[in-house]
Every structure is written in structure tokens, then in C-alpha cells.
Amino acid sequence: MIILENVSKAYKAGIPALNDVSLHINTGEFVFIVGDSGSGKSTLIKLLLKELDPTSGDIIINGKSLNGIRRKQIPKFRRNIGVVFQDFRLLKDRNVYENIAFAQRVIATPTKKIKRRVPMMLSMVGLAAKYKSYPRQLSGGEQQRVAIARALVNEPKILLADEPTGNLDNHNAWDIMKLLDEINQKGTTVLVVTHNLEIVKAMKKRVITMKKGVVVSDERMGESHAD
């Protein structure tokens, strides 16, 4: 599903943000990526989204090498990856329904399908009754649920969550992690970048620890959903 082969990324000469990283993440796995600031976590996410290109090495997602993807093909490639950020990134001038529908309109999804998919996603994240609300009327946890629904509405095979609980209190953080776990149980491959080691230890998933651009440990805390 996601393969990194000897991937390095240097922003400045001689200072690699990632240094010869090799990883294999199987279809249906739930993986935490942890490490201090500057460990290379954000660079890794940007490489997987093809916001950056590696200085060396190869990244293969869904059987396709990212080195071979042309610029005009990137939007189509990204449809297979849902992304959730720490700061939610919702459109403040649109209600919950329109925030989620927007992700479908961008790829010219027929209106009939949008009307079916959006309520389905809202029910999945427990916000069916809030479809007319605007982001400012929602709690942080609710905003993150909307962001997750938006990330999943186009049925991506992979969900990347970059510090998804960073702006949430402990109760909401746990709710979001349980939701991500449920999404994973349905078959979506989930990668979560986080600083919340309490959650990481409790959830007993695969944990990849990075430090100064290299993978220093890769532990399977519990059973994965690997093929």
C-alpha cells in the first residue's frame, strides 16, 4: 500500500530532513508516527501527498511510484488519500453539509451522489443533526469530526491524520481516536502523526518512531489489519 525505499529529503545542502528511510505499510494497517519536532514527521506527510519530492529514493503508493507522476496527475492521485489536520481547515463561510460536499464538488461528483454521501458521512461521525451548523457554532471535537467526514467522503484508501488531536482536550481527543479506529476497522489504511504518547500506548497499534530524519524504532504494539 505505502512503500518507501531509501528515501531522503534535504532542504539545505547536507542537512537531510529524512535520511535513507525505508518503510512498508500494508493495506488496512493503523500506524502511529511519533517523534520530537524536527524528527521528519511533517516532511514524511508532505512526501506522501507529493507536496514535496524526495532528494533520493522512491515512494510507491497503491502500486504507483510517485517519481513517475506528472504535475497535472497529482490532483487525481490525491483523491486516494484523505487528510486531516490539527487546525481542522474548514471553510468558515459554509455550513457543515457544504464543507463536506465541497470535497465532492471539486471532483465533479454528481449532485445525486453528493446528496447520498454527505448525510452518510455525517451519520458516521455522529453529526447528522448538525448539518446546517457553521464551524464557529461547533466545538473543537465537532469541527474535527467534520474534517474527518470531509477527508473520507470521496472514499480514499488511505487517511493521513497530522496531529488530529493537537487542539483538543483529552475527552475529545479520545473520541477522535476511537472514530479513526472505527474507520480503520472498515478497511481504510490510517496513518496518524501525533505527540500524544498516552493515546499511542493505550491503543496498541504499530508505532514508528522518528528522530532526526531516521526511523529509530518500528514496533507492533498489537495486531495489525495487514493483508
Grid cell digits, residue 45: 506527510
pLDDT, tens digit, 9 for 90 and up, residues 201-227: 999 999 999 999 999 999 987 544 443
Is the pTM for the entire model greater than 0.95? no
Contacts of 72 (CB under 8 A, 6+ apart): none
Q: What angle do CA 21, 22, 25 make, to 5 degrees?
A: 125
Candidates 58, 62, 51, 66; CA nearest to 26 is 62
Every domain of the chain and the residues it spans: 27-53+70-220
Q: Which fold has domain 27-53+70-220?
A: Rossmann fold (3.40.50)
- Say what the pLDDT of residue 90 is: 95
The per-residue DSSP string of 199-225 comes to: HHHHHT-EEEEEETTEEEEEEE-S---
pLDDT digits (tens, 9 = 90+) for 59-106: 999 999 999 899 999 988 998 999 998 899 999 999 999 999 999 999
pLDDT at 222: 57
Question: 117-155: per-residue pLDDT in tens?
Answer: 999 999 999 999 999 999 999 999 999 999 999 999 999
